[in-house]
Chains A and B, each alone.
Chain A
Amino acid sequence: MVDAARQPLIEVKAYTEVEKVEGFVGNFKVTLRERAKYVRADRCNGCAACAKACPVEVPNYFEMNLAPRKAAYIPMSQSVPLIYNIDMDACIHCYKCVEACGALEAIDFSMEDKVIEEDIGAIVVATGFGHFDPTPMTEYGYGRYPNVITAMEMERLNNSAGATHGMVVRPSDNRRPQRLAIINCVGSRDKRYNSSCSNFCCMYAIKNALLLKQMNPDMDISIYYIDIRTPGKGYEEFYDRAREAGIKFIQGRPAEITEDPDSHQLFIKSEDITLGRVIEHEYDLVMLNQAAIPQPDQDHMSSVLNVAQSPGGWFMEYHPKLRPIDSPTDGIFFAGACQGPKDIPASVAQGSAAAARASRILHSDTWQIEPTVAVVWPDRCVSGKGQACGICERACPYGAIDYTKGLSAEVITAKCHGCGACVGECPHDSITQLHYTDAQVLAQIRTLLAVEPEKKILAFRCQWCSYGGADLAGTSHFEYSANERGLRVMCSARMDADLIYESYRLGAGAILYSGCHPQDCHYITGQVAGAKRAARLDKMFARMGMTPGRFRTEWISAAEGDKYARVINEMQATLDKIPESELQAEIDRLKPEMEKKLTKMNEIPGVEEAMIQVDFIVNEMQNKAVTV
């Protein structure tokens, strides 16, 4: 931090909040609120005279409230920048600090918050994590039993710069504890509070146990755990060292801590799973490894930055495997625990990576995006004609569509990732996707179904998963029905209902609607939109009396070539079971229903011309006896 502050090209803005972020990659406009410190940065030299003079003491949150600070304060001696701060909530306006500061005249009670706007090229979010407060878990008595402390409190007690200069003592009587229990997973891996694993508590439990053991060899230390998780280089070896040092690992989550009200001794009864027996132990001090949770203001920050949150509340990365550092919004990156609990090595690695990702933007004049962006036909958009709509804005997983009532919707091209969800959802066909225009896709459908459509299985595949799965089926030489005809769009969200209706109108035998598994979707929530639409279609076709199996939805990953082949073969088997005449009768019967839904198809720009072209080409090919 000190080094960063010394770097001429880095400006540290302490005590400053991000209030608003507008614009897009390379061109963000960020509104910042610089909070008033009541001490002038250009004059304060960090001498601490004001703090010495200040008569008001309040608990220091940095020390987990185990030590006091003054109303004129810095939270810790290594604070960067080293500029004092006056806590107006605590200040009693005695002005002793002003006197103490003397000729420097750094203290200025007339300061006010400053709101500034900055042009920013890229944003790295590194807001870290928060700590679960174990008070609601009454079974562990935190807040009621003085000798039950949290891991964060232990970190401060155990720190030589901390409240006790590194002496670990029992809060009830300041005695040095002889028997210490550490309880893991307090509020984490617990469906009543936070169901996920906090990632690093197992390791810091071992760290703290070893540190304490080294300083106090006769201390009896037990760690209660559900599972010990030591994934990583050297971690298991660290665990080994702890066992060697005599730290007791007890597999069994205690249900309850009880306290002797007179001596404040603590008793933990837990099952030792390995023995299959319940054992009660007495302890002087108990440390609770509280869950790592999203920052209390994470929801707020997520709306300020316009980045989504994963289940559980952490910031959501673009892709868990392929782009774990990028946010779904170009130009915003994540570093550290704000994206999910992680330890220091992983946070540092992600931080360095985020810096590198950000510098790519700062060092280029132009920024490449996917060419498959969406475009609105302003003359078709009903919003421009005064009708309330905004469906596309809600459909976009990236917030790339600007919908204002009375104006036609507008795509912010730099933010668009080209999934086509808006195109699939727009009920007025007023929006299209470059390279996957309705005309282009409909032309493909018509070509693929030109000959004996009732025998064909038309497979809609998404670019990232099921298309890859089909590819793998091919390169792996898995055999599947030769009647399959594959068609690619970017995402299952682009698989417009019109495309399906048109395929059935043309007499397709069966249709596969396929895409990624929900957690694999390349476009955050595209698959969810696709799946909803598929379910709707499925219900509608069932109501129309379509033979079950002629419309099928499957989520197939790029690694599931075998599944792709199996699904197609099953669909072929379904088709084979329907007598030819019955199938033809069903197709004929449903055709008018489909037509009813497609009356406006030819009004979509480019479609009519494309169809004429397709018919011409198909005709030519048939004349020359080319099979399609």
Chain B
Amino acid sequence: MPEKPKIALFQCRWCLYAPADQEWVDTQLPENIHLTKTPCTGRINPLYVLNAVQGGADGVMISGCLPEQCHFKTGNMAARRQLEEFNDFLDYIGYDKQRVRFVWLDLQDRGIIQKQLAAFEQELDDLGPASNLVTRVKVAEGGQNA
């Protein structure tokens, strides 16, 4: 088992107002965290989360803007609806609900993403590695096995 829990981070490209914070995410993320930047959390296909889980990620974090601060009006609300539902499904098939985290970042807060990630990492550490759903089989576009 790797030393630190593996976190797949999906970040909407808008949610960090401070340039320093975005720069940290873009260049300073530790090896155990993998960044996927999307135009909006609404662009995140539940498939991505499923793949992360099946590929052995210990946690998935999705960071978006506060509801009234969404760059695309209602994108984050739709994303939350879609991913929350998907999370229920994951929970049902045995992937701990706590491992998928949706965070809403206030534009005015500085240094918040670092803190959120550290806290999440700590929680995942306590939960231990997640391996029960690892299949090593990619689920590609259209849902077929690739």
Least CB separation from A261: chain B residue: B111
Interface locus among A252-260, A552-560, A576-584: A252-260
Closest chain-A Cβ to B35's Cβ sits at a distance in Å of: 22
Closest chain-A Cβ to B112's Cβ sits at a distance in Å of: 8
Question: Are A258 and B108 in touch, CB under 8 angstroms?
Answer: yes
List, in ascending order, chain A residues with CB within 8 A of B108's CB. Answer: 138-139, 141, 256, 258
List, in ascending order, chain A residues with CB within 8 A of B109's CB. Answer: 258, 261
Closest chain-B Cβ to A532's Cβ sits at a distance in Å of: 42
List, in ascending order, chain A residues with CB within 8 A of B17's CB. Answer: 256, 258, 269
Least CB separation from B21: chain A residue: A258
Q: Is B2 among interface residues, defined by CB-CB distance under 8 A?
A: no
Q: Is A190 among interface residues, defined by CB-CB distance under 8 A?
A: no
With A and B bound together, what is the CA distance between A280 and B108 in angstroms?
Answer: 14
With A and B bound together, what is the CA distance between A261 and B17 in angstroms?
Answer: 15
With A and B bound together, what is the CA distance between A258 and B19 in angstroms?
Answer: 11
Question: Which of B1-52 touch A at CB < 8 Å?
Answer: 17-19
List, in ascending order, chain A residues with CB within 8 A of B18's CB. Answer: 258, 267, 280
Closest chain-A Cβ to B119's Cβ sits at a distance in Å of: 14
Closest chain-B Cβ to A134's Cβ sits at a distance in Å of: 15
Closest chain-A Cβ to B56's Cβ sits at a distance in Å of: 34
Question: Which of A255-286 touch B at CB < 8 Å?
Answer: 256, 258-262, 267, 269, 280
Closest chain-B Cβ to A364's Cβ sits at a distance in Å of: 62
Closest chain-A Cβ to B69's Cβ sits at a distance in Å of: 12
Closest chain-B Cβ to A96's Cβ sits at a distance in Å of: 48
Question: Are A259 and B107 in touch, CB under 8 angstroms?
Answer: no
List, in ascending order, chain B residues with CB within 8 A of A258's CB. Answer: 17-18, 108-110
List, in ascending order, chain B residues with CB within 8 A of A260's CB. Answer: 110-111
Q: How many A-B residue pairs have CB under 8 A?
A: 23
Question: Which of A106-155 touch B at CB < 8 Å?
Answer: 138-139, 141
With A and B bound together, what is the CA distance between A102 and B107 in angstroms?
Answer: 61
| Total count of chain B residues near the partner, CB < 8 A | 8
With A and B bound together, what is the CA distance between A14 and B111 in angstroms?
Answer: 52
Question: Are A267 and B110 in touch, CB under 8 angstroms?
Answer: yes
List, in ascending order, chain B residues with CB within 8 A of A139's CB. Answer: 108
List, in ascending order, chain B residues with CB within 8 A of A256's CB. Answer: 17, 107-108
Interface string of B80-123 (1 = CB under 8 A from A): 00000000000000000000000000011111000000000000
List, in ascending order, chain B residues with CB within 8 A of A259's CB. Answer: 110
Closest chain-A Cβ to B133's Cβ sits at a distance in Å of: 37
List, in ascending order, chain A residues with CB within 8 A of B107's CB. Answer: 256
Question: Are B111 and A262 in touch, CB under 8 angstroms?
Answer: yes
Least CB separation from B18: chain A residue: A258
List, in ascending order, chain B residues with CB within 8 A of A267's CB. Answer: 18, 110
With A and B bound together, what is the CA distance between A139 and B108 in angstroms?
Answer: 8
Which one of A258, A262, A280 has the greatest number of beta carbons of chain B within 10 Å? A258
With A and B bound together, what is the CA distance between A269 and B16 in angstroms?
Answer: 13
Closest chain-A Cβ to B116's Cβ sits at a distance in Å of: 13
Closest chain-B Cβ to A288's Cβ sits at a distance in Å of: 16
Closest chain-B Cβ to A93's Cβ sits at a distance in Å of: 46
Least CB separation from A141: chain B residue: B108
Least CB separation from A144: chain B residue: B108
With A and B bound together, what is the CA distance between A141 and B19 in angstroms?
Answer: 19
Which one of B18, B107, B108 has the greatest number of beta carbons of chain A within 10 Å? B108
Question: Are A280 and B110 in touch, CB under 8 angstroms?
Answer: no
With A and B bound together, what is the CA distance between A256 and B110 in angstroms?
Answer: 12
Closest chain-B Cβ to A351's Cβ sits at a distance in Å of: 44
Closest chain-B Cβ to A180's Cβ sits at a distance in Å of: 19
List, in ascending order, chain A residues with CB within 8 A of B111's CB. Answer: 260-262
Least CB separation from B19: chain A residue: A280
With A and B bound together, what is the CA distance between A280 and B19 in angstroms?
Answer: 9
Closest chain-B Cβ to A396's Cβ sits at a distance in Å of: 49
Closest chain-A Cβ to B101's Cβ sits at a distance in Å of: 20
With A and B bound together, what is the CA distance between A141 and B110 in angstroms?
Answer: 13
With A and B bound together, what is the CA distance between A139 and B107 in angstroms?
Answer: 10
List, in ascending order, chain B residues with CB within 8 A of A269's CB. Answer: 17
With A and B bound together, what is the CA distance between A418 and B110 in angstroms?
Answer: 64
With A and B bound together, what is the CA distance between A280 and B18 in angstroms?
Answer: 9
Least CB separation from A265: chain B residue: B110
Question: Which of A337-354 touch B at CB < 8 Å?
Answer: none
With A and B bound together, what is the CA distance between A259 and B106 in angstroms?
Answer: 12
With A and B bound together, what is the CA distance between A284 and B19 in angstroms?
Answer: 18
Closest chain-A Cβ to B83's Cβ sits at a distance in Å of: 28
Question: Are B110 and A261 in touch, CB under 8 angstroms?
Answer: yes
Closest chain-B Cβ to A278's Cβ sits at a distance in Å of: 10
With A and B bound together, what is the CA distance between A613 and B108 in angstroms?
Answer: 82
With A and B bound together, what is the CA distance between A256 and B109 in angstroms?
Answer: 11
With A and B bound together, what is the CA distance between A94 and B107 in angstroms?
Answer: 51
Least CB separation from B112: chain A residue: A261
With A and B bound together, what is the CA distance between A259 and B107 in angstroms?
Answer: 11
Least CB separation from A282: chain B residue: B20
Closest chain-B Cβ to A161's Cβ sits at a distance in Å of: 36
List, in ascending order, chain B residues with CB within 8 A of A280's CB. Answer: 18-19
Least CB separation from A259: chain B residue: B110
With A and B bound together, what is the CA distance between A269 and B107 in angstroms?
Answer: 12
Closest chain-B Cβ to A293's Cβ sits at a distance in Å of: 26
Least CB separation from B107: chain A residue: A256
Interface string of A220-264 (1 = CB under 8 A from B): 000000000000000000000000000000000000101111100
Least CB separation from B106: chain A residue: A258
With A and B bound together, what is the CA distance between A190 and B69 in angstroms?
Answer: 22
List, in ascending order, chain A residues with CB within 8 A of B19's CB. Answer: 280
Interface string of A569-588 (1 = CB under 8 A from B): 00000000000000000000
Closest chain-A Cβ to B37's Cβ sits at a distance in Å of: 21
Closest chain-B Cβ to A108's Cβ sits at a distance in Å of: 53
List, in ascending order, chain B residues with CB within 8 A of A141's CB. Answer: 108
With A and B bound together, what is the CA distance between A260 and B20 in angstroms?
Answer: 11
Closest chain-B Cβ to A297's Cβ sits at a distance in Å of: 34
Closest chain-A Cβ to B128's Cβ sits at a distance in Å of: 30
With A and B bound together, what is the CA distance between A280 and B17 in angstroms?
Answer: 11
Least CB separation from B115: chain A residue: A261
With A and B bound together, what is the CA distance between A260 and B24 in angstroms?
Answer: 14
List, in ascending order, chain B residues with CB within 8 A of A138's CB. Answer: 108
With A and B bound together, what is the CA distance between A139 and B109 in angstroms?
Answer: 11
21 A-B contact pairs sorted by A residue (CB < 8 Å): A138-B108, A141-B108, A256-B17, A256-B108, A258-B17, A258-B18, A258-B108, A258-B109, A258-B110, A259-B110, A260-B110, A260-B111, A261-B109, A261-B110, A261-B111, A262-B111, A267-B18, A267-B110, A269-B17, A280-B18, A280-B19
Q: Using A141-B108, A258-B18 as known contacts, list a sample of 8 further A-B pairs with CB atoms less than 8 Å apart, ordered by residue number in A.
A: A256-B17, A258-B17, A258-B109, A261-B109, A261-B111, A262-B111, A280-B18, A280-B19
Chain A contacts to B: CB under 8 angstroms: 138-139, 141, 256, 258-262, 267, 269, 280
Q: Which 5 A-B pairs have the closest CB atoms?
A: A258-B110, A260-B110, A258-B108, A258-B18, A280-B19
